[in-house]
Amino acid sequence: MGRNLGVEGRAGWYKVTNKLLVDNGGSGLLKRYHGSLQKILSAVYSDFVWDPLKFPKAPQNYWSSLDNQRAFLEGIALKNGVDLNDRASWYKVTTQVIMEHGGRVLLSKYNYSISALLAAVYPDYQWDVLQFSNAPHTYWASADNQRKFMNEMAVKLGFNPEDMESWYRVTNQTLLDNGASALLKKHEGSLFSLFSAVFPEHKWDPLKFSQAPRNYWNSIDNQRNFMDELGRSLGMKEGNRDGWYVVTSRTVNDAGGNRLLGLYNGSLPLLLSKVYPEYNWNMWKFPRRASMGKGLSRDKAGLLQILSSMEQELNVQSPQDWYRITYEHYRTFGIAHLYKTEKTIMLDALKTKYPEEKWDESLLFRKQKAVS
């Protein structure tokens, strides 16, 4: 059969599979040796030292032996510069290296965890799972492991783990730099979620972290709570909305609301109109720089609100009065872009407000100074 298959030398048999043996009429022979091609060859060609790992498939139950596992790992050590007298040198070996040397089935016995494999083969050494390139899949499932890691990291960073306020200084990057990317991923990148799980005895403020939890600002209630708290810190009395007219976007940003403002394209008036819809906002009272901005283009309700403010301030009593409103008026209200580059949006808003009116666009957007 070797001649028929073109097997060259003893080493050529490593490429032969059980299927080839069966296809050539050797099923009975294979059965006699319990399906092990290695055992057949070891019996027939006993003059050759066979390496079981060079066959396409290791012998059945081969990896059940710790001696076989240890011999395999020592072979990898010799090829990858691992000092067998220095267990710590194993930390640089990855699961990919082990699989490339034919140890995929062996790794599968340990759920593809190199730390679990080494702990079984070398139980005399105290392994630190976090020094491996990847912690075991189940390691972070333990709340005790998570808390142990966080406590050790606190000491490493120079603060007492019991000082909860100090934890707010820890960022996502801090965790990544300390090898806890899998831990952070487990909590979907949310520090608030992580700390709430690890230290449930403490009431965490999501806005004190460097980054608010994902989707936190999608809640109008969260937005309102933030603005209520900011208003109180600025000395506004409960229910007094007029105080917001002198507040700038920068104040909101500095208070940690930059992502919240980002939902409204940086427009504080647009944010306020959404958070406090029950209040009749006069857009004229906001500073020009705090205008509704380009976010208005995506918010028809907000645009109609500012149109009402303009009509109130400029004494517009009928659709025809809009023909005397000029670029200077739009600019004063901070929506010059609706006059210059987004006239269609402005015209659509007017058509919504006055559906019966037939608008003449050439007269509606005139290039002249405001009429007093």
Which pTM value belongs to this model?
Answer: 0.45
Please report, for the chain, the start and end positions of each structural domain, with discontinuous segments joined by +.
2-60, 63-131, 139-208, 217-364
pLDDT higher than 70, residue 135: no
Place of tokens 């004190």: 208
Contact 55, 42 (CB under 8 A): no
Stretch 241-260: mean pLDDT: 87
Q: Would you state the torsion angle of the CA atoms of residues 270, 275, 276, 277, taken in this order, to the nearest 10 degrees?
A: 70
Q: What percentage of the chain exceeds 70 in pLDDT?
A: 92
Tell me the pLDDT tens digit for each residue of 195-233: 999 999 999 988 888 777 778 888 999 999 899 989 998
Residue 267: the pLDDT is: 84
Residue 108: the pLDDT is: 86
Radius of gyration (Cα) for the chain, nearest Å?
Answer: 36
**Per-residue confidence band for 136, with pLDDT thresholds at 50, 70 and 90:** low
pLDDT higher than 50, residue 290: no
Beta strands in the chain (DSSP E): none
Contact 344, 350 (CB under 8 A): no
Contact 341, 314 (CB under 8 A): no
Place of tokens 């333990």: 142
**Dmax (CA) of the chain:** 110
Residue 288: the pLDDT is: 54
Q: What is the mean pLDDT of the chain?
A: 83
Q: Residue 342, SS3?
A: coil
The answer to which of 75-84, 117-126, 178-187, 281-290 has the lowest mean pLDDT is 281-290
CB atoms within 10 A of CB 163: 9
Stretch 97-122: mean pLDDT: 85
Higher local confidence (pLDDT), 303 or 261? 261
Tell me the pLDDT tens digit for each residue of 55-68: 777 777 788 889 88
- The single-letter code of the amino acid at 207 is L
**Per-residue confidence band for 137, with pLDDT thresholds at 50, 70 and 90:** low
Higher local confidence (pLDDT), 136 or 12? 12
